[in-house]
Structure 1
Amino acid sequence: MFHTILIANRGEIACRVIRTARKLGIRTVAVFSDADADAQHVRLADEAHHIGGARPQDSYLRGEAIIEVAKKSGAQAIHPGYGFLSENADFADAVLAAGIAFIGPSGASMRKMGSKAGAKDLMAAAGVPVVPGYTGEDQSPDLLQREADAMGYPLMIKAAHGGGGKGMRIVRTHDEFLPNLESCQREARNAFGRDRVLLERYIEHPRHIEIQVFGDSHGGALHLNERECSAQRRYQKVLEESPSVFLTPELRAKMGAAAVQAAHAIDYANAGTVEFIVGADGGFYFMEINTRLQVEHPVTEEVTGLDLVEWQLRIAAGEKLPLTQEQIEQQGHAIEVRLYAEDPDAGFLPGSGTLQTLRLPMPSRNVRIDSGVVEGDTVTIFYDPMIAKLIVWDEDRPRALARMREALAACEIAGPKSNIAFLERLVRHPAVVGGSIDTGYLDRHLDEFLSPAQTDRVLLLAAATTRLLAQEADARTAAAIGSDPGSPWAIADGWRLGYGGSRRLAFAEGGTRIELVARGHSGDYVIELDGASHTVSGARLDDEALSARIDGDMRRFRALSDGDDVLVHDGRQRLRLHAEAVYRREGGDGGSSEHRIRAPMPGRVVVVQKQPGDAVSAGDVVLVIEAMKMELALKAPRDGVLAEVRAQAGDFVEGDAVLATLEQ
């Protein structure tokens, strides 16, 4: 076994590898960029070295700098994690050439799988079913258009190198093909450094099933059963589970055997994932092999009881596979979701900023947290905005879903917006509960998973009650530590001479202002909301729990009042409000923003498609910025003529910066 390893990655996967290495008594070395100088993986490792600027190409994609750190620190092996250089065959070869072990497959195996096109051809030759399509090296737009037309629509354009849902587009008509091709190639070039694509027939309503495989350097190979990843949005997985409710024992055995056959075909060693697309009839087709550990590997660990990172380390050190296929056991059901800094109600726009609040459930046998950040850390614009992976396990799927609902209810993130509420609706949706979701369901029915247009009135009343009780408690505390503990000012009841006083409350929910009027005190209130009166009685706030009779019905909520923020959760949905000043000055600059095109978040301008003087129509793309590994098209808000463009390709811009204006 190794005595020192270097982790050529960041975030939760770097933290994950460090913890397993520590368990085995292995010393760890981390690398970090300018943006990650205070990151958790840097603090967890035994030592850490700076390797460059914040952009991946200036740091985590600099293989020569990483190898130099490994030599300097005496590391015997390099673990690439996932993303960045994890599937770069040249890097794997360079590591070995430097006399250092690469914790992953060989460069030769990667090259066979690094191109989705070559992989499909190889798998077809090995007898593994593949989806029909075009995998040729000729990448001229005219030829690709002809191949697409001949294949027929719908079809999928896929980046031949890389993964993670980047560089993929569904095209349904001839006219959509070239614009999607250009965007797909640009995204692939930015994410993976290569812009080759392949075309393949798009199977409607498919399931996404992947098989975890392991091979060793002694010719052994086996599989650890499947993970279902059919809950996806724009090819990004949002929920993974094992086992799949879709597979029969017979289909599971066939797919497992095909996955092992695929591993043998490329002399595979270490961890890999064979991904299949499965039709409604049970027909399955090879999509790709991810020659690395997958983000969703914890669900396999939870149902098998195995540490896959430990397996990686042992196999890279030359050991044989720890178990035989017959010894692989599977127990219970595991589910994983990913908490992201993003705004689902704004098109899943990635977020960035300081995690002012980060509350996650307490880890246990049933709940696991994999995260690379803690409260106070910053989610930057340079990398994936994942905050944490939330994994649950229980004896069967219904109980695992219940565990996930409980775990999500215990999560709270303040600072950048998050997808927690979206995930809470997801794990309650009939398509997920019933196990019928396919890879396109979320995109077809996204409105079913987004915030309702109208806020639940009961939640609003609970939030107002929480705020009132917190204000009264604060007043009592202030009086108790003052010079006059018996002061009448310790009673925050809004009392006025001769009549019961009222208190006004104002909250902001997104861009909406909510105003209420409350009378009463000490847990008994009449609250006016939108012209209607509601009674709240017997309200008690104890240890983050609010119990109260609202309009006669007893209700219980998880409730937090933190500064000016109030959070309530009724067990099914949450509401977060920000308290505002009750009275505010009316007015503003009076100017319309319809002539401005702003950056929705910090990022880098990758394309400027229009110039000053160009006529544009509402919805025309003027600029494209890249942030957190995704492209965002900035469009004209109305018809008009561009007056100015204030950015050019390559510029880094701040959130809300005006990048272009229309003539007024």
Structure 2
Amino acid sequence: MHVNTTSAKTITKLLIANRGEIACRVISTAQRMGIATVAIYSDADQHARHVQLADEAVHVGAAASSDSYLQIERIIAAAKQTGAQAIHPGYGFLSENEAFADACASNHIIFVGPPVNAIAAMGSKSAAKAIMDEAGVPLVPGYHGSEQDADTLAAAADKIGYPVLLKAAYGGGGKGMRLVEQASEFNDALASAKREAKASFGNERMLIEKFIRNPRHVEVQVFADEHGNAVYLAERDCSVQRRHQKILEEAPAPALAEKTRVAMGEAAVRAAQAIDYVGAGTVEFLFDANNQFYFMEMNTRLQVEHPVTEMITGLDLVEWQLRVAAGETLPLAQDDIQLNGHAFEARIYAEDPDNDFLPCTGRLNHLRAPLTSAHVRIDTGVVEGDEVTAFYDPMIAKLVVWDVDRSSALRRLQQALSQYRITGLSTNISFLQRICAHPQFQRAELTTQFIDKHATQLFQQTDIDVNRYAIIASLFDIYQRQQQSQVAAWYSPWDNADSFRLNQGFSHQLQWQYGEQTLTIQLTQQGQQFSLANDAQQQWQVLDFDGDYLSISENGHRFRVAVADDGAEVTLFNQLERVSVSRYRVADTLNSEADAGGLQAPMNGTVVEVLVQVDDWVEKDQALLIMEAMKMEYTIRAPAAGRVSEVFYQPGELVSDGAELLGLAQDTDNA
């Protein structure tokens, strides 16, 4: 069946039409295979890690992806300029763009992906459903028709029965997707979904599906070559999602009967063969409580979560992609593929889970990752000091772990997450830790509604002994200053700064800010021992600081706390907790009169639509303005009833984090 063939296509130089961690990951495999690599970069990425790793790099435009990473002609020109015979599109951007694949073919450049006709067939979710139906792949009940007027779509939703899911026909990644619980919400949801689909994919066509409550999201990795061979490489469970986007994936899918696993894999292969697929693809299914699976979509590219499949199969899927693109047969037949152990992937994002997962921008002031090994893998495109901007996806890294079974792998993941430390912006690390610690997750009771279902526990703030952390921060601060003074003092005891007193202890008073709280810590030092001014029985001593960990003794109990200090604040990491306290400073007095009624941008972004005009009366929670940032749409709502006094930005304009968007006069005259 699998006879090695000598390819007429040669790949000695590869251009990666992407950025960030996936570009770095593709570069790694290509260079291991002896293939020279070419990176592309925007103005914002000129110093990025993928640019540094590649053998060559070509500038393709301004920071916005529409002006750089989506510029087909410039990317093709970069490949020609550098002599690259092939282009790997990664995922996102142009990876599923048939025009890009066609442009590669027209210019005699190998596109490391499926044929144009396969991308086209799966690019429209509506057309894909029809093809899958004919191939005997189970489908979710829905509407996939060409009639797209609001009345037709509303009637289709009524026929299917609420709740329904609106989905962008040419979309993915949760963009242009809305859950509609009842008919009265349909028109607003449709308008919003179409607007986001148009902005993200250039096409506002929608399809409607019956919303299956509490399903699992299980997907199958498939691979096919030009010689008619196709296999499936196990499956992945990607049920834990926020905003319809995955954040925790695992392979193989737990609690799946072998009969179901085989049936799902064979259905995925039929799906690939139905469109003459070549290369790596992923067939995604909804899996319900009755152990029935339904086709959702096929992603005609490598998936973000492909590393968990690599960890349990021992295979390099990028290498497979490059070999298949060069015309070779698949390296293994179905019966040769062996699964070993269990793997998890946790996506580390710059976002604030406690603020509706709002993406965050900022500098990675402090970045410490767990050590990599046979059990721990990290795919990342950033290093300490890099900026996370509003121009691209806010993913910082993918943390991937493997062990012999699910429970062992989960312990590995929890340990690795506790060792991942980042300051400078908010991340979802603590939130991921809470998911991993949740009893239902540990028992593999998974559903796409997992986060919503367990929100009370996952978002519940644990009682933090802030005063204790302020004490530790104070000990750290004193220790650092005294160590620095000792270095500067040489051998002069007068410059030693060790607070030595002949007959009494020396008092240190430090103030810290934690949210709205001002914490005053008073410590008395006697030699190397510290005690609280109001509690002489509690004895503290700093034993050592190695640059990352502060070793402390508290009444003879020794422990370590990871510390990051960026000057303005000290951040302490301890198991599931990350606590930042700021060095106290008198805050600037705010002009409360000027600030009253103001509505600020939650982050850097672009104004998409202004829904009100000056002098309009609005009610509390009424939508006022829509902005887009990091590929997501956000609605700014009125904090209280009032009259719009000013509109500072118009559609298409860029806004900075904290910029006032509108003015709202909170009077009572609504006539």
Q: Quickly name the TM-score band, shorter chain normalised.
A: over 0.9
Structure 2 match to 1:568: 572
1:610 Cα offset (Å): 0.6
Picking from 119, 143, 154, the partner of 2:163 is 154
Q: CA RMSD in A?
A: 2.2
Match of 1:379 in 2: 388
Compared CA separation, residues 101 and 147, structure 1 to 2 (3 A):
same
**Which range moved further: 346-355 or 293-302?**
346-355
Aligned position for 1:174: 183
Find the counterpart in structure 1 of residue 559 from structure 2: 556
CA contact (8 A) 1:471 1:492 kept: no
Task: Write the deviation string for residues 6-31 of structure 1: whole angstroms up to 9, x where unpaired.
Answer: 11111111111111110111111111
1:221-620 to structure 2, matched below 5 A, reads: 221-450=230-459, 452=461, 454-456=463-465, 460-462=467-469, 464-482=471-489, 484-487=491-494, 490-492=497-499, 500-510=505-515, 512-520=517-525, 524-527=529-532, 535-537=538-540, 539-543=542-546, 544-546=548-550, 548=552, 550=554, 554=557, 556-564=559-567, 565-571=569-575, 573-581=576-584, 584=586, 587-591=589-593, 593-620=595-622
- Where 1:591 maps in the other structure, the secondary structure is helix
Deviation at 1:575, TM superposition (A): 2.4
CA spacing shift, 1:442–1:553, aligned 2, 3 Å: farther
Superposed CA deviations along residues 452-491 of structure 1, whole A, max 9, x for unmatched, are 164235xx42552253144234314313422553227521
Q: In structure 1, what is the Cα distance between the partners aligned to 2:565 and 2:32?
A: 37
String of CA shifts for 1:109-147, please: whole Å, max 9, x gaps: 111111111111111111110000000111111111111
Distance in 2, Cα, partners of 1:434 & 1:296: 21
Give the residue type in structure 1 aligned to 2:342.
H
* SS of match in other structure, 1:75: coil
Quote the residue 1:116 is aligned against: 125
Do structure 1's residue 633 and structure 2's residue 640 form an aligned pair?
A: no
SS in 1 for 2:77: helix
Is the contact made by 1:7 and 1:30 (CA closer than 8 Å) also made in structure 2? yes
Measure, in 1, the Cα distance between the counterparts of 2:499 and 2:257.
63
SS at the partner of 2:204?
A: coil
- Helix, strand or coil at the partner of 2:226: coil
**C-alpha displacement of 1:72:** 1.7
Query: What secondary structure is seen at the aligned counterpart in 1 of 2:246?
Result: strand
Judge conservation of contact 1:557–1:569 (CA < 8 Å) in 2: no
What's 2:651 paired with? 649
- Aligned to 2:121, the other structure's residue is in SS state helix
- 555-564 or 225-234, which deviates more: 555-564
1:146-189 residue CA offsets vs partner (Å, 9 max, x unmatched): 11112111110011112111111111011111111111111111
C-alpha change, 1:533 and 1:334, in structure 2 (3 Å) is: farther
Deviation of the 1:566 alpha carbon = 3.0
> CA 1:140 to 1:532, structure 2 compared with 1: closer, same or farther past 3 Å?
farther
Post-superposition offset of 1:645: 0.1
For each residue in 1:379-399, what CA deviation from the matched residue of structure 2 results, as whole angstroms up to 9, or x when unmatched? 111110111111111111111
- Matched residue SS, 1:393: strand
Correspondence for 1:95: 104
What is the Cα deviation at residue 498 of structure 1? 7.7
Structure 2 residue runs without a partner (length 5+):
1-9, 667-671
Q: Secondary structure at the match of 1:626?
A: strand
Name the SS of the counterpart of 1:490 in structure 2. coil
Q: CA deviation at 1:98?
A: 1.0
Q: Which residue of 1 aligns with 2:5?
A: none
Shift in Å, 1:532: 8.8
The 3 A distance-change label for structure 1 pair 391 and 534 is farther
What is the one-letter code of the residue matched to 2:201?
A: F
Distance 1:84 1:510, change over 3 A: farther
Alpha-carbon distance in 1 for matches of 2:363, 2:314 = 35
Question: 2: CA distance between counterparts of 1:91 and 1:388?
Answer: 27
Deviations 1:251-276 (A, max 9, x none): 11111111111111111100000000
Residues 1:143 and 1:555: Cα distance change in structure 2 (over 3 Å): farther
Offset at residue 76 of structure 1 (A):
0.7
CA shift for structure 1 position 547? 5.2
Counterparts of 1:534 and 1:618, CA distance in 2? 53
Alpha-carbon displacement from aligned partner over 1:607-632 (angstroms, at most 9, x marks no partner): 10011010011211111111100011
| 1: CA distance, partners of 2:224 / 2:47 | 36
Decide whether aligned partners of structure 1 residues 510 and 78 sit closer, same or farther in structure 2, where only a CA change above 3 A counts. Answer: farther
**Distance in 2 between residues matched to 1:333 and 1:40, nearest whole Å:** 30
Query: Per the alignment, do residues 585 and 194 of structure 1 end up closer, same or farther by CA in structure 2, a change over 3 Å counting?
Result: closer
2: CA distance between counterparts of 1:77 and 1:587?
59
Query: How far, CA to CA, are the matches of 1:500 and 1:590 in structure 2?
Result: 44
Match of 2:153, SS state, is helix
Moved more, 589-598 or 410-419: 589-598
Distance 2:67 2:207 in 1: 28
Alignment partner, residue 136 of structure 1: 145
Q: Quick one: distance in 2 between partners of 1:626 and 1:243?
A: 35
Once structures 1 and 2 are overlaid, which stretch shifts more, 473-482 or 367-376?
473-482
| Structure 1 partner of 2:82 | 73
Whole-Å Cα distance in 2 between the matches of residues 522 and 660 of structure 1? 58
**Identical pairs, percent:** 47
TM-aligned CA deviation for residue 549 of structure 1: 5.8
Partners in 1 of 2:298 and 2:203 — Cα distance?
18
Distance of aligned partners of 1:199 and 1:533 in 2 relative to their CA distance in 1, 3 Å threshold: farther
Q: How many residues align?
A: 655
C-alpha offsets along residues 406-434 of structure 1, whole Å, 9 cap, x if unaligned? 11111111222111111111111112111
Shift, 1:541, TM fit:
3.6
Aligned residue identity for 1:251: T
Which one is further off, 346-355 or 643-652? 346-355
Distance in 2, Cα, partners of 1:311 & 1:278: 28
Stretch moving more, 535-544 or 259-268: 535-544
Equivalent residues of 1:223, 1:259 under 8 A apart:
yes
Call closer, same or farther: CA 1:19–1:153 in 2, change over 3 Å.
Answer: same
Q: Determine if contact 1:469/1:541 at 8 Å carries over to the other structure.
A: no
C-alpha contact (below 8 Å) 1:332/1:394 kept by paired residues: yes
Is the contact between residue 530 and residue 541 of structure 2 (CA under 8 Å) also seen in structure 1?
no
Any conservation in 2 of the 1:241–1:333 contact (CA below 8 Å)? yes
Q: Could you give the per-residue CA deviations for residues 318-352 of structure 1, whole angstroms, max 9, x where no partner exists?
A: 00000000110111111001111111122211111
Aligned equivalents of 1:252, 1:609: Cα separation in 2: 49
Deviations 1:76-130 (A, max 9, x none): 1111110011011121112111111110001101111111111111111111100
> 1:226-269: per-residue Cα shift (whole Å, max 9, x none)?
11011111211110001111211111111111111111111110
C-alpha spacing 1:342/1:512, structure 2 compared with 1 (3 Å): farther
